[in-house]
Amino acid sequence: MTSVNTEARPGLFSKLVASGAHQKLLAFASLVILLVGFTLASPNFMQVSNIIAILQATSVNGVLAVAATLVIITGGIDLSVGTLMTFTAVMAGVVLTNLGLPLPLGVIAAIGAGAFCGFCSGSFVAKMKIPPFIATLGMMLILKGLSLVISGTRPIYFNDTPGFDLISNGSLIGMLIPSLPIPNGVLILFLVAGATAYILSRTVLGRYCFALGSNEESVRLSGVNTDWWKIAIYSLAGAIVGIGGLLIASRLNSAQPALGLGYELEAIAAVVIGGTSLSGGRGTILGTLIGALIMAVLINGLRILSVAQEWQTVVTGAIIILAVYADMVRRKKSA
Amino acid sequence: MTSVNTEARPGLFSKLVASGAHQKLLAFASLVILLVGFTLASPNFMQVSNIIAILQATSVNGVLAVAATLVIITGGIDLSVGTLMTFTAVMAGVVLTNLGLPLPLGVIAAIGAGAFCGFCSGSFVAKMKIPPFIATLGMMLILKGLSLVISGTRPIYFNDTPGFDLISNGSLIGMLIPSLPIPNGVLILFLVAGATAYILSRTVLGRYCFALGSNEESVRLSGVNTDWWKIAIYSLAGAIVGIGGLLIASRLNSAQPALGLGYELEAIAAVVIGGTSLSGGRGTILGTLIGALIMAVLINGLRILSVAQEWQTVVTGAIIILAVYADMVRRKKSA
Amino acid sequence: MKELVRMEGIEKRFPGVHALKNARFDLQSGEVHALMGENGAGKSTMMKILSGVYTRDGGTIEVDGRPVGFDGPGAAQDAGVGIIHQELSLMNDLTAAQNIFIGREPRRRFGRLDEAALNSQAADIFSQMNLDLDPRTPVHQMTIAKQQMVEIAKALSYRSHILVMDEPTAALNDAEIADLFTIIRTLRSEGAGIIYISHKMDELKQIADRVTIMRDGETVGTVPAADTPINEIIQMMVGRSLSDSALELADFEHDNVALEVNGLTRGHEIRDVSFKVHKGEILGFAGLMGAGRTEVARAIFGADPRDSGTLMIHGKQVDIKSPRDAVAAGIGYLSEDRKHFGLATGMDVRANIVMTNLKQFSSSLGVLDEAAMQATAQDYIERLGIRTPSDRQEVRLLSGGNQQKVVIAKWLLRDCEVLIFDEPTRGIDVGAKAEIYKLLIELAAQGRAIIVISSELPEVLRISHRVAVMCEGRLTGILDRQDATQESIMKLATLTMREPSTNKRAAQ
Amino acid sequence: QDKLYIPMISKGFQHQFWQAVKAGADQAAEEFGVEVTFEGPDSEAQVDRQIDMLAAALAKSPDAIGFAALDSQAAIPLLRKANEAGIPIVAFDSGVASDIPVSTATTDNSAAAALAADKMAEFIGGAGQVAVIAHDQTSSTGVDRRDGFVNRIADTYPDIEVVTIQYGAGDQLQSTEIAKSILTANPELKGIFGTNEGSAIGVVNGVRESGAKDIVIIGFDSGAAQKEAIRSGLMVGAITQNPVGIGYETVKAAVLTIKGESVPEVIDTGFYYYDANNIDDPEIAAVLYD
Ligand SMILES: Nc1ncnc2c1ncn2[C@@H]1O[C@H](COP(=O)(O)OP(=O)(O)OP(=O)(O)O)[C@@H](O)[C@H]1O
Ligand SMILES: Nc1ncnc2c1ncn2[C@@H]1O[C@H](COP(=O)(O)OP(=O)(O)OP(=O)(O)O)[C@@H](O)[C@H]1O
Ligand SMILES: O[C@@H]1[C@@H](O)[C@H](O)OC[C@H]1O
Ligand SMILES: [Mg+2]
Ligand SMILES: [Mg+2]
């Protein structure tokens, strides 16, 4: 009965088009254009050390953006990633410096605090039916305040925890390949991104992530405990933000309690530039990574060119719009 | 011939319920609770001068929130209201101080610049199909940078334009009723809100606002030029932000070019606390006003109580969540 | 009679689908021209091309004798082509009247709206349609049927001389269908041409003058409606003849109650509803639009809260608070509104089919087994004849009827002991319908208890062991198969009850 | 109830610098038996937020107000109101362009930054490229320090070129990234001046992460990390203000005014250059904070 496509035998190209693979290939385009442009514009841009600097600048925002991607795919939004990052860093500080406990416990504290706060946001959204924007805006403020309260409005230094700064600044890869001293922070970003991409595409949690964003009510009516899964997704996102908190704390060798405001918009921008839809139901981690890289390359390149800072802002705004526009045009063509 | 409602003759109460009027009445509840609470907690709170201070603190955020409401009802979002406000203030400064032109031209410059930028955002969204979040995030950055560029990163003072500070700080009402020196800024907020509420409920533009937020595709399939209307709505919102720019410039008697970042989230919070749905299609200006007042009362009250600043932030976050939660529960009950 | 529309050699391709192959169609003034075909045959696509929603890849269109190429729905409207789309597309937050006149609202100066005129004009249309609806009712408060009526009202308000109706009656009951047909006949007598798409074969004889049949994107032929036997039309549609033999219902176990509902109540929508379904039984639910059948199903399923009432499964009381509890207790529910409640339309066929049952396809760590999911999806695609290029196709790109089959597949996979089907054949073609009936009967024979809510009385009569009838939130009676006729059902469906005691008796 | 109440409206409260000012104010509060509250906006751009804070403080009918203006002109209407209500104002950190404040406890930021320029010149040998990472593009302290530094270089050291000035909002991470890009873009760079605590630490991080050698870093303010950087030699030295003194003197001046005693119009709380050699001297240690 189902004789669709008997006649239409697509060639390799249209097969690629149908599978959407070309889209992912093309998504690099904006990034590549930027890279080429900056390389031509400044001899200082394309150096191993600068590329590493760009990657390192991506690491924290990248991790936050990966977390934000999860929530955005469910059709939600997470405005608390920035201050939650700070909060988890402070928790690590409390455990390691104030309580003097060993390093693994600090790691657990940060990730655990992240997961717990994600759990709270998730519960507000799922159980109390508060729109994600408001639930996470509230959390953003609460966590901002709590970070200051807990730290006593003072940075907490990790001087008593030897090796803490290696979490982000050390280089395992550099130990193996001395000419490629990629910092661990970057490695961790890619590990986190890889794991999250796996979860999204291969596990039940990932499946529900997309399903919730696609049509939550129909998922609920399929007998799925949507509230529970939603909370689980927010918790996972929170845990990932906790890793981001460790990265930034390690990089600054301190927990800076006033940091983090504004990072949420940057993370969300990376997600959207990467092609994830804010209305939920679709998105990729690879796209988010590219989005985060685009932002980092852009800012780095403009600085290298010594563009006046106010113009840097203008150009960044314009390029964000253009990058997304290019993506739109591409999709329309391929649709 | 149309014998609608012949059989069902609802009582007054159920009529009210059906019309949704009780909801608007009940929407005051959170606000009233806050007011009563703070009055009991501090004798300094319920003074004419402090109430006026609260209203004045509301005026700018209120105007921005009114503008944001329009865009949000269409199902969009406007992250640029904060920096656009600054940009319009700077434009007024350029016209009045740098060019030395007369006051009305400054007013036109601010509102015109607002409308023009709204037009740009609207075109990005409608014509280039860029998601509103990104289009207005881009605009937010562009305008932030341009404000600094145009002003030469220095505040522009309005010392040469006598009467400019009266736009916000003078008091027409106070001239009539000396015991009620309500500043003009507050008056302007209420006028803007009233006019916008009228537009929303009584004009074609308002109708398409709700229609676009409800189901854009269906509006388009009905042969309406949705792109055009969307641009019109963003432009109107931009013009309103321009009024906000005048208010803040007048209040500070200067255009502060670095101001405005972060104001967008506050404005959006006011809108959502006021019961407007971020998914579009529903919302009221009255609700937005109440939302803006809730935020202003909260912050003022906590200050009056001399609550430590970090705790102020925590409490604000918690109350935003609670206020929206209360609203949810109410709606569920009345549904 | 003059020719209003001529479409020749129409081609349309979507990624992976050749939807229209050299299709043709014509419409004369003063006729109702039915367009028939299986799910996915290309009917809606053809009409979307005519009404300017899609652009064609090839072929010619003439309207009123002039070649046209509409670049949007507005252009088609201007040329006098109106359409009622198969999928509801209303603005939920706006009122009925506001929806009808969107883009053409009566205005005063300076863009101010004239709401009074708007509402009275809408009321006029409603009264022409014999529809009892307050024009100020927001769409989201209406049942699907009422929403469908608003869509019809909207199309009528354009006064188009070419009117396309894509399955307008899928959500309507007999009385409303009769009203609609009256309107159609009036329009026809005024010289308009109506293109009418439906899967309800009995409507053909009542309303159509000619019938064009499509299969696999091609036009098979055009025949006069009056003197072509239905069987012949069906044969043209499906490419073979269907046996019309009566369906054999196996006996059910009268002493084995699968689901017992007692005193189910929720506001005014459900008032003290009690009934039993047995193992192996198909219990039909009949009633007029808004009788409360969907509400009962949703309350049983835990989708909406109940005020009171108890549920027993196999004699054991169960406490169902959410759909999850219901599924865990062995109850499945297929919603009447597949778009909003049945499917994640942005996801692919495979993901939707396995949605109720992900556990079965995942390891203890929650890792999914794609190969197993694919095999299962493929199996159902074949069993139910779901027309899709692959199991990775997004569901929103399937034709309406095929979407419905995906919903059915997903619940078949879950294999519940009690299955509630709400309008299971809405928008499904004759061939598939017969298969679904067979499937329901098979499921019952395998020992499942089945509730079928349907607004098509012949359907209820054909496949139900017993028929429960509702009116205004009450269960007004349950008829045995031998007592159930169109007349006896309609009598109960219009029986406004006063005494709860009568209700109880009837429910026994 | 009889306790005097003096709210301090500051330019910020999250920076360690402001916490040190607060500590000084608290110290004075204790000493004079008055009640002090301390408040400031999140960023130095939020001029209007500060005005709202000032308005709320006025509503509490305090006995005096301590005020560090983000924009002195913008606050004048409210300050006038305070004046009319007989509430004395003591300005701190940065002055108010008006005669309303009875006294101003402040650092001369241009002079302080000029000293930083002198030190920079000294350590890079009077010639070469330097860069500035400032904490704010529009606030008076940001502008004064940038200009104080740049002007001194321009006026006095013709062989030194300020190749770029960038702004990191006092955010450590942002300043770190900026420092790294500046180093990449200007391989010949000899020194960087960071205009406040966050900027200075950002410079230190950036230089460390990029592995650049022989970069002269001059910082501003103190804090544990900056002190550590100076001790380890990564940072040559820094200018410090006397934040504790600023806070203390502000409250003291307010109390004296309320009591009807006269106070000096300007209380110069001073600034100092410190490096590894004098960091532990008692008079320096007293003005540093962690
Ligand atoms: N936008 C689209 N993208 C891809 N495929 C599509 C799209 N629209 C329709 N199709 C495919 O085109 C074919 C024809 O679909 P169409 O909706 O016209 O069928 P139909 O005859 O109206 O069926 P039904 O009776 O189920 O409504 C189907 O195979 C469908 O899956
Ligand atoms: N979303 C809603 N808002 C308000 N009232 C509703 C809503 N849905 C249903 N109702 C009302 O509930 C009652 C029962 O509707 P229900 O949909 O259960 O009827 P039904 O018998 O299934 O008929 P249908 O053929 O329309 O599916 C009707 O009075 C209807 O108007
Ligand atoms: O003005 C302040 C300045 O004095 C300090 O050095 O850094 C933070 C600024 O807010
Ligand atoms: Mg169809
Ligand atoms: Mg129903």
Ligand nearest to the CA of C17: 1
Closest CA to D247 of D102, D139, D91, D136: D91
β-bridge mates for residue D101, sequence order: none
Residue A106 CA to residue A93 CA, distance in Å, equals: 7
Would you call B60 and D48 a contact, using CB atoms and an 8 Å cutoff? yes
Give the CATH number of domain A21-334; options: 1.10.3470, 1.10.10, 1.10.8, 2.60.98: 1.10.3470
What's the residue count for chain A?
335
**C residues 319..378 contacting A (CB < 8 A):** 322-324, 326-328, 332-333, 335, 340-347, 351, 355-356, 358-359, 362, 365-368, 370
Q: What is the pLDDT of residue A242?
A: 98
**Tally of domains in chain C:** 2
Token pair for residue D38? 């301390």
Least confident range from A167-176, B14-23, C427-436: namely B14-23
Is B87 within 8 Å of B139 (Cβ atoms)?
Answer: no
Token pair for residue B72? 């949000």
Convert the pLDDT of each residue in C28-73 to its tens digit.
999 999 999 988 899 999 999 999 999 999 999 999 999 999 988 8
Which amino acid is it at B254? S
| Alpha-helical regions (H) of chain B | 12-19, 21-41, 48-73, 81-93, 103-126, 132-151, 166-169, 172-176, 184-202, 204-221, 226-252, 263-273, 285-304, 309-334
Which amino acid is it at D92? F
Residue C356 located in a structural domain: no
Q: What is the pLDDT of residue D199?
A: 95
Which amino acid is it at B305? L
Q: What is the pLDDT of residue B277?
A: 86
Phi/psi of residue A243, each to 5°?
-65, -40
C255/B335: higher pLDDT = C255
Instruction: Determine the average pLDDT of the residues in D19-37.
Output: 95
What's the residue count for chain B?
335
Residue C337 located in a structural domain: no
Token pair for residue D124? 């890079």
Q: CA torsion angle for D202, D205, D206, D208 (degrees, to 10)?
A: 160
Non-local (6+) Cβ contacts of C262 within 8 A are C274, C309, C310, C311, C312
Residue A309 CA to residue C109 CA, distance in Å, equals: 49
Pocket test residue of D10, D15, D67, D199 for ligand 3, highest count of atoms within 8 A of CB: D15
Instruction: Determine the average pLDDT of the residues in D82-96.
Output: 90
Non-local (6+) Cβ contacts of B73 within 8 A are B200, B209, B210, B213, B276, B280, B281, B282, B283
Tell me the chain C residues in contact with residue A1 when contact means C-beta distances shorter than 8 Å. Answer: 385, 387
Going along C290-425, which residue ranges are E strands? 308-313, 316-318, 331-334, 418-422
What's the gap in Å between the CA of D18 and the closest CA on chain B? 13
* Same domain as C229, residue C156: yes
* Same domain as C276, residue C219: no
Residue in A202, A203, A217 closest to C341 by CB = A217
Q: Taking the CB of residue C247, how many other CB atoms lie within 10 A of it?
A: 11
Residue C295 CA to residue C473 CA, distance in Å, equals: 8
Q: What is the pLDDT of residue C44?
A: 95
**Which regions of chain A are under pLDDT 50?**
1-23, 25
Rg over CA atoms, chain A: 21
* Same domain as C223, residue C261: no
Residue B267 CA to residue B262 CA, distance in Å, equals: 9
Q: What is the pLDDT of residue C312?
A: 95
Residue C369 located in a structural domain: no
Residue C141 CA to residue C90 CA, distance in Å, equals: 12
Q: What is the pLDDT of residue C501?
A: 40
Measured between CB atoms, does B145 come within 8 Å of chain D? no
Residue C317 located in a structural domain: yes
Residue C235, judged by CB atoms within 10 A of its CB (0-12, 13-18, 19+), counts as middle
Token pair for residue D72? 């002195």
C172/D189: higher pLDDT = D189
Instruction: Determine the average pLDDT of the residues in B119-131.
Output: 96
Instruction: Determine the average pLDDT of the residues in B3-27.
Output: 44
Is 90 exceeded by the pLDDT of residue B39?
A: yes
pTM (two decimals): 0.89
Is 50 exceeded by the pLDDT of residue D90?
A: yes
Local confidence band at B3 (pLDDT 50, 70, 90 cut-offs): very low
Residue D286 CA to residue C333 CA, distance in Å, equals: 75
Phi/psi of residue C474, each to 5°?
-110, 155
Q: What is the pLDDT of residue C173?
A: 79
Is B235 within 8 Å of B119 (Cβ atoms)?
Answer: yes
Domain that holds residue C101: 3-238
Measured between CB atoms, does B157 come within 8 Å of chain D? yes
Residue B232 CA to residue C500 CA, distance in Å, equals: 57
Is B135 within 8 Å of B149 (Cβ atoms)?
Answer: no
Residue B273 CA to residue B62 CA, distance in Å, equals: 12
DSSP 8-state secondary structure symbol assigned to residue A96: I
Is A79 within 8 Å of A264 (Cβ atoms)?
Answer: yes
Convert the pLDDT of each residue in D135-167 to its tens digit.
988 888 889 999 999 999 999 999 999 999 999
Say what the ipTM of the complex is.
Answer: 0.87
Domain boundaries, chain A: 21-334
Pocket test residue of C139, C143, C293, C474 for ligand 2, highest count of atoms within 8 A of CB: C143
* Same domain as C97, residue C160: yes
Token pair for residue B148? 């600094």
Measured between CB atoms, does A103 come within 8 Å of chain B? no
Q: What is the pLDDT of residue B335?
A: 53
Instruction: Determine the average pLDDT of the residues in B8-31.
Output: 52
Kindly write down the DSSP assignment for every residue of C11-58, as one continuous string. EEEETTEEEEEEEEEEEETT-EEEEEESTTSSHHHHHHHHTTSS--SE
Q: Distances in Å between the alpha carbon of C86 and those of C83, C93, C168?
A: 9, 20, 7
* Same domain as C167, residue C69: yes
* Same domain as C231, residue C134: yes
C242/A108: higher pLDDT = A108
Q: What is the CATH number of the domain that holds C167?
A: 3.40.50.300
Angle separating helix axes A263-273 and A81-93, nearest 10 degrees: 120
Kindly write down the DSSP assignment for every residue of C171-233, as one continuous string. T--HHHHHHHHHHHHHHHHTT-EEEEE-S-HHHHHHH-SEEEEEETTEEEEEEESTTS-HHHH
Closest CA to A58 of A269, A305, A334: A269
**C residues 476..495 contacting A (CB < 8 A):** none
**A residues 118..137 contacting B (CB < 8 A):** 124, 128-131, 133-135, 137
Is 70 exceeded by the pLDDT of residue B13?
A: no
Is 90 exceeded by the pLDDT of residue D218?
A: yes
Token pair for residue A261? 């405001």
Q: Distances in Å between the alpha carbon of C85 and those of B83, C49, C150, C164, C195?
A: 43, 12, 12, 8, 12
Query: Residue-wise over B71-88: b if at least 16 C-beta within 10 A, else e?
Result: bbbbbbbbbbbbbbbbbb
Is 80 exceeded by the pLDDT of residue C90?
A: yes
Is C20 within 8 Å of C42 (Cβ atoms)?
Answer: yes
Query: Residue-wise over A38-73: b if at least 16 C-beta within 10 A, else e?
Result: beeebebbeeebbebbbbbbbbbbbbbbbbbbbbbb
Convert the pLDDT of each residue in C107-139 to its tens digit.
998 889 999 999 999 999 999 888 899 999 999
Percent of chain C with pLDDT over 70: 96
Tell me the chain D residues in contact with residue B252 when contact means C-beta distances shorter than 8 Å. Answer: 47-48, 51, 71, 73-74
Is D184 within 8 Å of A47 (Cβ atoms)?
Answer: yes
Q: What is the pLDDT of residue B5?
A: 39
B20/D92: higher pLDDT = D92
Convert the pLDDT of each residue in C334-374 to its tens digit.
998 888 899 998 899 999 999 988 989 999 889 999 999 99
Q: Distances in Å between the alpha carbon of C327 and those of A6, A215, C181, C297?
A: 39, 19, 41, 13
Q: What is the pLDDT of residue C102?
A: 92
